[in-house]
């Protein structure tokens, strides 16, 4: 079967412009996925001399999975750069990872990834990606994280352009639906494209097809019916079909299927692909109540972003997986708003009415909270001394009475970013089979193997580090394997 090329480069820049993609030929390296990990692998394999085919399940416009939504990447570096304000040593990166995962990480692999991330800072620029200085505000990542000029989509476009110039072939609307794996050896992948099934053969496979966060049925196996109310922050194409095939066909799993990165996002966001503009940073400025107008967790426990990633899980545990952040006029300008305006009212009972909550219950919750607030000096940039006394749960910092109209609320739901269950790999990004033998010719990179490094928790920007480091290695090793 021959299909039209997925991307026709400008002839002025293209060194290789395929006129057709021949799915019947045997490629050296087949890359499944179309995000950062896949493109890093494809470029790296091609630069190592391999013929490379990329199969992306999404149509061209939606290519690039969750990578489209990203803004930055965390890499170790020994000194300040043009855009990074100071050094971020390997040891400091490791300490950060150790803290956020609570030790649930493969130390050897994680330290190896951190070491390799130093080179990625330069390698990714050689592939056409550009950096920009970090913005200020709540993120405070100017020393540790490099921001993509133009965001994740621009980053991806640069990688696709480089891949295409090098002669990597890409087919969109091409979902891998089955794999022929015999005794740890990849033989072929069955691809649905343009309404037909085609078996594509290659000497090596790189699986870079993301997690299973967009597969609500799979999420329900671990979260129960609550998963129906989850919103998926990224692509609807990360349904975990590759992950499932690989695990079913003997690849060793890594990670806990219930672990994922989940934050509280605006409940009015679309089911999929809402991206970062639906995120809410204002928990610390008010109180958070459930549909019974009851508070359920310390909103002032720690400084954002350290506590930011726990609110997805907290809201997931509430009835109907819905909660409301309630605050008053003095807080309105203190945080980055969501895409949607907050619900606004002149009184707390009126606000409750607009949210569908009991006016009496919300009034009671706010008054009880206000009575417990102790005087202090409000400073949202530090763990200040504004706290409650005699209240369960407490608000440990930034507690200010909610009494100045107008009053505001944001409805929030759990927003799932990505899942951590994955394929076990070694430092060559080579998959490990259930009997602990390395696979003969199968590699994986990115979200699909993130669980090797991230057992739980998250440090901003590490998703892209995992994809770039292991993508680059997977491509190189897959090409080496094909040569041999
Ligand atoms: C809103 C949002 C913001 C984020 N911001 C950041 C950030 O700033 N920094 C950071 O480090 N991380 C961030 N992340 C996490 C980051 O997006 C991921 O860690 C990273 O993009 C993973 O890259 P990947 O290539 O493994 O997967 P993806 O980029 O998700 O790509 C997976 C690809 O596989 C394809 N695919 C799936 N199944 C198949 C199949 N069967 N056949 C063929 N193709 C298939 C999909 O279409 C997709 O193109 C963010 C995530 C979200 C949702």
* Ligand 1 site, residue 71, Cβ cutoff 6 A: yes
Q: Does 261 contact ligand 1 (Cβ within 6 A)?
A: no
- Testing ligand 1's pocket by substitution, the residue of 60, 210, 468 carrying the most ligand atoms inside 8 A of its CB is 210
- State which residues of the chain have pLDDT below 50: 4-19
Regarding the beta carbon of 355 and ligand 1, being less than 6 Å apart is answered: no
**Which helix (DSSP H) or strand (DSSP E) does residue 34 occupy?**
none
Among the residues of 278-347, which ranges form H helices? 311-316
Give the span between the Cα atoms of 228 and 254, in whole angstroms: 25
Distance CA 112, CA 333 (A): 42
Does ligand 1 lie within 6 Å of residue 234's CB atom? yes
**209 close to ligand 1 (CB < 6 Angstrom):** yes
pLDDT value of position 82: 86
pLDDT of residue 1: 56
> Which atom of ligand 1 sits closest to the CA of residue 241?
41
Q: Are 90 and 76 in contact (CB under 8 A)?
A: yes
Would the CB of 210 count as within 6 Å of ligand 1? yes
Q: Is 104 exposed, middle or buried (0-12, 13-18, 19+ CB in 10 A)?
A: middle
Residue 418 CA to ligand 1 centre (angstroms)? 8
> What is the pTM assigned to this prediction?
0.93
β-bridge pairing 26-32 and 196-207: parallel
Q: At what angle do helices 107-126 and 90-101 cross, to 10 degrees?
A: 120
Helices (H), 252-326: 311-316
116: its two tokens: 């390799």
Q: What is the pLDDT of residue 306?
A: 61
Closest-CA residue, ligand 1 atom 19, reads: 463
Which region holds residue 184: left if phi is over 0, alpha if psi is between -120 and 50, else beta?
left
- Give the bridge partners for 265, in sequence order: 279, 413
Instruction: Say what the pLDDT of residue 5 is.
Output: 45
- Name the token pair of 49: 């001399």
CA of 57 to the centre of ligand 1 (A): 12
Residue 395 DSSP symbol: -
Residue 472 CA to residue 449 CA, distance in Å, equals 14
Please list, residue by residue across 79-89, b when 16 or more beta carbons sit within 10 angstroms of its beta carbon and e when fewer do: eeeeebeeebe
| Residues of the chain by 3-state class (helix, strand, coil), percent to 5 | 35, 25, 40
- Closest residue by Cα to residue 295 from 369, 399, 384: 369
DSSP state of 426: -
Query: Mutate which of 40, 63, 64, 66 to test ligand 1's pocket (most atoms within 8 Å of Cβ)?
Result: 66
Which run of H or of E encompasses 353?
A: helix 348-355
Please give the pLDDT value at position 134.
76
Residue among 471, 476, 345, 319 at smallest CA distance from 408: 345
CA of 212 to the centre of ligand 1 (A): 10
Which one, of 301, 305, 388, 403, lies nearest residue 346 by Cα?
A: 403
């Amino acid at each position: 079967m021959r299909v039209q090329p997925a991307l026709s480069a400008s002839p002025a820049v293209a060194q290789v412009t395929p006129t057709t993609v021949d799915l019947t030929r045997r490629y050296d390296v087949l890359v499944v996925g179309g995000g950062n990990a896949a493109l890093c692998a494809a470029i790296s394999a091609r630069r190592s001399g391999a013929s490379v085919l990329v199969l992306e399940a999404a149509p061209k416009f939606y290519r690039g999975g969750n990578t489209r939504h990203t803004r930055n990447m965390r890499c170790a570096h020994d000194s300040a750069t043009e855009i990074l304000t100071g050094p971020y040593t390997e040891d400091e990166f490791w300490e950060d990872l150790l803290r956020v995962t609570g030790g649930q990480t493969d130390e050897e692999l994680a330290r190896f990834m951190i070491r390799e991330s130093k080179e990625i800072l330069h390698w990714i620029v050689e592939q056409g990606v550009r950096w920009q200085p970090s913005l200020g505000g709540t993120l405070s990542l100017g020393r540790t994280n490099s921001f993509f000029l133009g965001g994740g989509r621009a980053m991806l476009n640069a990688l696709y352009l480089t891949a295409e110039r090098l002669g990597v072939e890409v087919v969109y609307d091409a979902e891998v639906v089955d794999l022929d794996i015999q005794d740890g050896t990849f033989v072929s992948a069955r691809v649905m494209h343009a309404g037909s099934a085609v078996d594509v053969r290659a000497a090596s496979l790189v699986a870079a097809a993301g997690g299973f966060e967009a597969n609500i049925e799979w999420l329900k196996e671990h979260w129960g019916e609550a998963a129906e109310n989850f919103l998926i922050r990224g692509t609807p194409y990360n349904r975990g079909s590759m992950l499932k095939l690989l695990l079913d066909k003997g690849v060793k799993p890594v990670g806990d299927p219930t672990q994922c990165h989940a934050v509280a996002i605006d409940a009015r966001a679309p089911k999929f692909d809402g991206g970062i503009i639906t995120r809410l940073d204002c928990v610390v400025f008010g109180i958070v109540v459930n549909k019974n107008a009851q508070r359920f967790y310390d909103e002032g426990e720690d400084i954002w972003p350290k506590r930011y990633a726990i609110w997805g899980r907290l809201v997931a545990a509430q009835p109907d997986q819905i909660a409301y952040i309630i605050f008053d006029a003095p807080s309105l300008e203190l945080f980055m708003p969501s895409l949607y305006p907050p619900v606004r009212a002149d009184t707390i009972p009126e606000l409750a009415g607009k949210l569908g909550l009991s006016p009496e219950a919300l009034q009671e919750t706010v008054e009880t909270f206000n009575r417990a607030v102790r005087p202090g000096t409000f400073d949202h940039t530090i763990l200040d001394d504004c706290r409650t006394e005699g209240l369960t749960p407490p608000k440990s910092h930034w507690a200010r009475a909610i009494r100045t109209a107008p009053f505001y609320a944001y409805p929030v739901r759990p927003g799932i970013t990505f899942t951590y269950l994955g394929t076990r790999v070694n430092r060559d990004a080579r998959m490990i089979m259930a009997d602990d033998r390395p696979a003969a010719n199968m590699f994986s990179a990115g979200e699909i193997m993130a669980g090797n490094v991230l057992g739980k928790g998250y440090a901003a920007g590490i998703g892209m580090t995992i994809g770039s480091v292991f993508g680059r290695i997977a491509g190189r090793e897959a090409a080496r394997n094909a040569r041999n």
